[in-house]
Structure 1
């Protein structure tokens, strides 16, 4: 699991997030954070809704109040140095006050049979560059991202299983100058599976608006729309509303047969595979094989230098093409109207979406003015 160290006072102060909506909210989360063994309360613990701009910290008695600005499904995250991350899935579709008394468990980490690269030498620096490419991405927006506390990242390599792992002893602090966000990211896992030839990372980001005058803010607003349109979140939001074609998406199905991939050239009506979800506010995409998604309303700029043909399936022109498939044993992807996916580790994306990583991700409470004005 994740090894943790004591947070500095500066970082604790830095964790004071701005909560959206100063007026009274219908949806409130309040509670207390304490040590699960001793019962001692934990002041200045970070409390936030993952993938949003909503968060706060506990007071000197370990108490907190979090006001949720709009209905939806959220992951409530509580993080304190030296303790495991507390995670609670919440749903707000009717006015309510949710009480959460979080008893945190001490974090321990066992490292057996792995090579540790904790010393900040040349090897560590090379590993760091590989990590940033895999975590932030390689897009133009990713190039404007900077991890402000790189020194908290360490690396491990399991020689027996041929797996590379990165972890952070504190939440990563990322400044995205392209989109205008400062992000605190609780990294739960980052793995590169060399034998299987894929990588994955998972964790819990919280977003805070950067301050800027009129000129950079105008740039950020433009870039945010570019980042959102054609993204995974935008795709699933469009699918939920049965508006894929209207929003510029073309979907095709492919199959792997005896080591070769065959793409059906016909456009697929993907909505026929959408079923009711586990809640009244979610839907499920149930499918087999591989789905190719082409976004036609935005071309890949020449300066990006992105290859969207890593799968070997022919690609015409410079349209944004991605593909995704379910991992073994998984049968569906469940999602909500805003594009929020319940089970993001159950499927893998590649090609264009594979290039767009943390440097291009938007909070789920982002309001797209173009869609809102339709």
Structure 2
């Protein structure tokens, strides 16, 4: 793919703009004409991100659809006060405590996560909402993370982060949910010191490893075990895999029709209302709780909507369609590998 990066207001080329595929090690810089070109061996299901100092990041969704050079118009960033950090009410927790919670839930607690250093922690703003019991965080510049274990320098543009609690506390025992989102770029800093073993250790048993295994239908080869209701299960009985538009469409055979009907008969509800309620109930009851075992470690996942997609690199989408618990859910940004990381696939 190729294109030109220009200043939107002046319509002049921007030299030195940083262009990268989100979540990969693949990047380019624009020349004096604002031109860039990126060549890859295969397509990635990811966005193209363009960044330039003093300008707002530009995101190109599904960039491989453009067969001709694209023209990207960058807008100067407008400095503004964000509602996230404006509050007359004093926070119930110190910045140091909130930062510690952020690093634990964003980076994780693994060996790789503990090796990570965020060089610019001061760009992170925090806010604890006492009405919803959610700790929010936002970064006003990309986080500069050095992963000394996996040997990557990571630029992570954090767009969303939250930790939900059951009450006003930062105690992990009262956490209900953790979520974060953003774009990232990886730079390999291993040099002459190979990080093969460390990266392999983070990859094996990860969600990406599982997704690549599922898409390739290589459960035994990759030493994954699938269980349903405590019994060893055949993946072919639960996952229908179909090639579509260059990705794998995964249909989860939930057994919705086998779910017992809901015993309801509320006066005042129409026949159609009752049918819809029965349909929703059967769908919920038919959702299967899968157990995945790798190297003795258990993870659990569900797919309530019954469908998701996996690309050639093990990236799955929509992310919200698959919910993980257990071992795999414990790994955060500190163990993430670039989408172009390859291990036997």
TM-score higher than 0.5: yes
* 1:138 aligned residue (109, 133, 148): 109
Taking the aligned partners of 1:266 and 1:108, their CA distance within structure 2 comes to 57
Deviates further, 58-67 or 225-234: 58-67
The answer to whether the 8 A contact 1:48-1:54 is kept is yes
Contact 2:215 2:241 in 1 (8 A): no
Residue 327 of structure 2 corresponds to residue 355 of structure 1: no
Q: Look at both structures and tell me which one has the larger radius of gyration over its CA atoms.
A: 2
The alignment partner of 2:316 has SS state of coil
Q: Could you say if the C-alpha distance between residues 159 and 54 of structure 1 is closer, same or farther in structure 2, counting changes exceeding 3 Å?
A: same
TM-score (norm 1): 0.71
Query: Of residues 99, 103, 115 in structure 1, which corresponds to 2:73?
Result: 103
Could you say which residue in structure 2 is the equivalent of 1:57?
29
Give the superposition deviation at 1:134.
Answer: 0.6
Answer yes or no: is the 8 Å Cα contact 2:292–2:299 preserved in 1.
Answer: yes
Deviation at 1:249, TM superposition (A): 1.1
1:273 aligns with 2:272: no
Give 1:82 deviation, angstroms.
4.3
Instruction: Please tell me whether residue 206 in structure 1 is matched to residue 185 in structure 2.
Output: yes
Counterpart check, 1:282 vs 2:252: no
- Bigger drift between 269-278 and 152-161 goes to 269-278
Q: Distance in 2 between matches of 1:136 and 1:225?
A: 18
Count of aligned pairs = 300
Q: Tell me how far 1:91 sits from its aligned partner.
A: 4.0
Q: Give the secondary-structure state (helix, strand or coil) at the position aligned to 2:69.
A: strand
Distance 1:60 1:157 in 2: 45
Unpaired runs of 5+ residues, structure 1, are 1-28, 254-263, 297-318
Tell me the equivalent position of 1:74. 46
Asked whether the 8 Å contact 2:246–2:311 carries over to 1, the reply is: no
SS at match of 1:244: coil
1:292 aligns with 2:291: yes
The answer to whether residue 214 in structure 2 is matched with residue 248 in structure 1 is no
**Correspondences of 1:222-371 after superposition (within 5 Å):** 222-253=197-228, 264-271=229-236, 272-276=238-242, 278-286=244-252, 287=254, 288-296=287-295, 319-326=296-303, 330-368=305-343, 371=344
Matches within 5 A, 1:79-94: 79-80=51-52, 81-91=54-64
Query: Aligned residue for 1:22?
Result: none
TM-score, scaled to structure 2: 0.76
Query: What root-mean-square deviation, in Å, do the aligned CA atoms of Structure 1 and Structure 2 show?
Result: 3.0
CA deviation map 1:188-209 (0-9, x unaligned)? 2112233581111111111111
Cα distance in 1 for partners of 2:134, 2:57 equals 23
Q: Would you tell me which structure has more strand in proportion to its own residues? A: 1
Residues 90 and 160 of structure 1, relative CA distance in 2, 3 Å threshold: same
Q: How big is each residue's C-alpha offset from its partner over 1:307-353, in whole Å with a ceiling of 9 and x where there is no partner?
A: xxxxxxxxxxxx211112346xx442210232121322433322211
C-alpha displacement of 1:48: 0.4
